Amino acid sequence: MNAAADLARGVVTRISGPTVTATGLTGVQMYEVVQVGELGLVGEVVRLIADRATIQVYEDTTMLKPGAPVRPTGAPLSVWLGPGLLGNIYDGIQRPLPGIQAHSGAWIQRGEKTAALDTARRWTFEPRVRSGESVIAGQAIGQVAETPLVKHRIMVPPGASGTVRSIVAGGDYTLRDRVAVLETPAGPRDLTLLQTWPVRTPRPIRERRRIVEPLITGQRIIDTFFPIGKGGAAAIPGGFGTGKTITQHQLAKWSDAEIIVFIGCGERGNEMTEVLREFPELKDPRSGRPLMERTILIANTSNMPVAAREVSIYTGITLAEYYRDMGLNVAVFADSTSRWAEALRELAARLEEMPAEEGFPATLPTRLAQFYERGGAVTTLAGERGSVSIVGAVSPPGGDFSEPVTQHTRRFIRCFWALDTELANARHYPSIHWLHSYSEYVEDVAAWWEKQSPDWGELRTEALTLLQREERLQQIVKLVGSDVLPDTQRLILFIAEIMKDGFLAQSAFDENDMYCTPERQITLLRMILTLYRRGRDLIQTGVPLARLRELACVPQVMRAKSAIGNNEPDKLAELEKRVSEELDALAKEFSKKGQAP
């Protein structure tokens, strides 16, 4: 603590839940971190009037009394950045939960002080520059094998550049050991394996790039119909029980991002417990290594201090930006932004701010924008490509998408995966409704998909059109039944059912179906649409729909998603060939008869 901060020590005059008012804090700044009470509870200055400050405390203020001391720290709320982040589990202000458990047991004690990273652990440092070389901000001066999956680059901090005066040889060092000395215009600067960065300040970049590559999730309805680009932003809105958390779990498990940051902000403890238990046991589908070796978990459940929930998403996005600056693709999953917005509402009420729609603060759109705009595909300060993709779950009360959080979120995202209660009740998962969802990244990623399959755009458009036509026909069926429809329209209903069961629905518990490669997605969709195209032509020549339904290949197509794995392309090609052969045989049979029996 510096001398200025020591002189500015204040006292608590008013307490309202996590909001504390203190006087005597001359010289403190907005968003400066202070320590409140004898236990040194972590707080942040959110309002200043002369020497009176309003403080947002990130811990339980029970038993705190007026007259308690308040000590400024002279720094904003910041996170530690360095080797050891991956595989760790933090609370909203980057306190490591495993470390707290080892020190204090199952419950976080008030005033708990545990270092975010292990400062005693030694890491094997490999230098990548030599003495006398010029380096710029963001450039890697060395690397550390953080996990078997990730080489952690030790970078020159933003705002620093110059000539390497000295750098250590390869060896084992702790986070605080000096590994290099940088000669800068302001004088020599020591570089260590550890950096800090204020969570509310976006890390600088050189430029934003156009999104051109999809984030492959292995979920067919997302990748094929409503893709998200690497560096994109998406929302998953849905009512209670529609599968928001499960869908995010699937995306976190199987997406091809190199780093995963999962933020549980305000969700129920049992849901977060499931994440904490599952992720350490999961294997990465591409490397076979444990998934936690490329994952950071931030747990701030609904029973934890509400103020820490507000800052938890800034903690998560800052960690994501740090790995992005290494030239990696990072995916951030926030579950859920509605609970985060509720924390904003509660804090705004305690600050006596004027409420807006449904009691949310008038700054809600701005705060949402500050979060989602920190994503994107970028050129880093060192000139490398990196990205941060953001997927936020939204929990509108009663599934009402017209409520403020959902509506404001739609302004800042380009991908909308609307979960449907009726689909969830019918056990159709993921319950993303194909008519209420959309993606504005389709044109951006079309070139990538067309390299995999030139007919991707055509197949996607035809499938969505078919589903739209089926929805309109269902309105007629509800009134008069399907028997009055001609076979051409009944074929649409038949193929749409195959598409729903054999393509759109995907089981998270089926070893073959939980993840689907882009190649298998296209082949499955092409087979279903081949049945439709050829069946339509056959019906127009007089073949009854009943004969199409009796084809032996139809149930095989519906079961292909679980019967044929990703590593069995030959079996899939054989089934595709069988579909064509059976349709050819049916056409030949009726051409000989000259007419349908």
Q: What is the pLDDT of residues 351-372, one digit of tens each?
A: 889 899 999 999 999 999 999 9
CA nearest neighbour of 260 among 312, 315, 328: 328
Phi first, then psi: what are they for 471, rounded to 5°? -60, -40
Report d(CA 432, CA 380) in Å as an integer.
34
Whether residues 249 and 336 share a domain: the answer is yes
Whether residues 233 and 303 share a domain: the answer is yes
Is 424 inside a domain boundary?
yes
Is 7 inside a domain boundary?
yes
In this predicted structure, the answer to whether residue 597 has a pLDDT above a threshold of 70 is no
Contacts 24+ apart (CB under 8 A), 99-108: 108/304
The pLDDT assigned to 5 comes to 43
Arithmetic mean of pLDDT over the chain: 92
3-class SS of residue 350: helix
The pLDDT assigned to 320 comes to 98
Question: CA-CA-CA-CA torsion for 435, 440, 446, 447, nearest 10 degrees?
Answer: 180
Whether residues 371 and 501 share a domain: the answer is no
Between these two residues, 112 and 492, which has the higher pLDDT value?
492
Mean pLDDT throughout 39-51? 93
Between these two residues, 101 and 143, which has the higher pLDDT value?
143
Is 462 inside a domain boundary?
yes
Residue 414's CATH number = 3.40.50.300
Q: How confident is the model at residue 533 (pLDDT cuts 50, 70, 90)?
A: very high
3-class SS of residue 541: coil
Q: How confident is the model at residue 594 (pLDDT cuts 50, 70, 90)?
A: low
Strand partners, 71: 35
Q: Where are the beta strands (DSSP E) in 546-592?
A: none
In this predicted structure, the answer to whether residue 4 has a pLDDT above a threshold of 60 is no
In this predicted structure, the answer to whether residue 99 has a pLDDT above a threshold of 60 is yes
Report d(CA 33, CA 573) in Å as an integer.
61
Whether residues 560 and 508 share a domain: the answer is yes
Mean pLDDT throughout 446-475? 96
3-class SS of residue 264: strand
Whether residues 341 and 319 share a domain: the answer is yes
Whether residues 218 and 362 share a domain: the answer is yes
Is 100 inside a domain boundary?
no
Report d(CA 30, CA 216) in Å as an integer.
41
In this predicted structure, the answer to whether residue 137 has a pLDDT above a threshold of 90 is yes
**Tens digits of per-residue pLDDT, 320-330?**
999 999 999 99
In this predicted structure, the answer to whether residue 121 has a pLDDT above a threshold of 60 is yes
Report d(CA 487, CA 419) in Å as an integer.
32
Residue 50's CATH number = 2.40.30.20
> Considering 442, 468, 502, which residue would you say is the last residue of a domain?
442
Is 569 inside a domain boundary?
yes
Whether residues 333 and 469 share a domain: the answer is no
Contacts (Cβ under 8 Å, ≥6 apart) of 447: 212
Token couple for 295? 């994952």
The pLDDT assigned to 483 comes to 86
**Tens digits of per-residue pLDDT, 173-200?**
999 999 999 999 989 999 999 999 999 9
With contact defined as beta carbons under 8 Å apart, do 541 and 584 qualify? no
Mean pLDDT is lowest, of 289-293, 394-398, 568-572, for: 289-293
Mean pLDDT throughout 217-225? 96
Whether residues 329 and 408 share a domain: the answer is yes
The pLDDT assigned to 266 comes to 81
Whether residues 38 and 166 share a domain: the answer is no
Report d(CA 356, CA 267) in Å as an integer.
24
Whether residues 521 and 585 share a domain: the answer is yes
> Considering 136, 167, 193, which residue would you say is the last residue of a domain?
193
> Considering 442, 464, 497, which residue would you say is the last residue of a domain?
442
What is the number of structural domains in the chain? Answer: 4
Between these two residues, 149 and 271, which has the higher pLDDT value?
149
In this predicted structure, the answer to whether residue 3 has a pLDDT above a threshold of 50 is no
**Tens digits of per-residue pLDDT, 159-171?**
999 999 999 998 9
Is 38 inside a domain boundary?
yes
For 480, other C-beta atoms within 10 Å of its C-beta total: 9
Residue 559's CATH number = 1.10.1140.10
**Tens digits of per-residue pLDDT, 500-518?**
999 999 998 898 999 999 9
Mean pLDDT throughout 296-300? 91
Buried b / exposed e over 140-169, threshold 16 CB at 10 Å, is bbbbbebbebbebbbbbbbebbbebeebee
Is 281 inside a domain boundary?
yes
Mean pLDDT throughout 97-109? 78
Is 214 inside a domain boundary?
yes
Whether residues 390 and 297 share a domain: the answer is yes
Between these two residues, 159 and 269, which has the higher pLDDT value?
159
Element of type H or E holding 187 = strand 187-192
Q: What is the DSSP string of 255-310?
A: ---SEEEEEEES--HHHHHHHHHHGGG-B-TTT-SBGGGGEEEEEE-TTS-HHHHH
Between these two residues, 589 and 15, which has the higher pLDDT value?
15
Whether residues 486 and 539 share a domain: the answer is yes
Mean pLDDT throughout 99-123? 85
**Amino acid letter for position 514:** M
**Tens digits of per-residue pLDDT, 374-415?**
999 999 999 999 999 999 999 998 889 999 999 999 999 999
Domain that holds residue 43: 3-76
With contact defined as beta carbons under 8 Å apart, do 327 and 386 qualify? yes
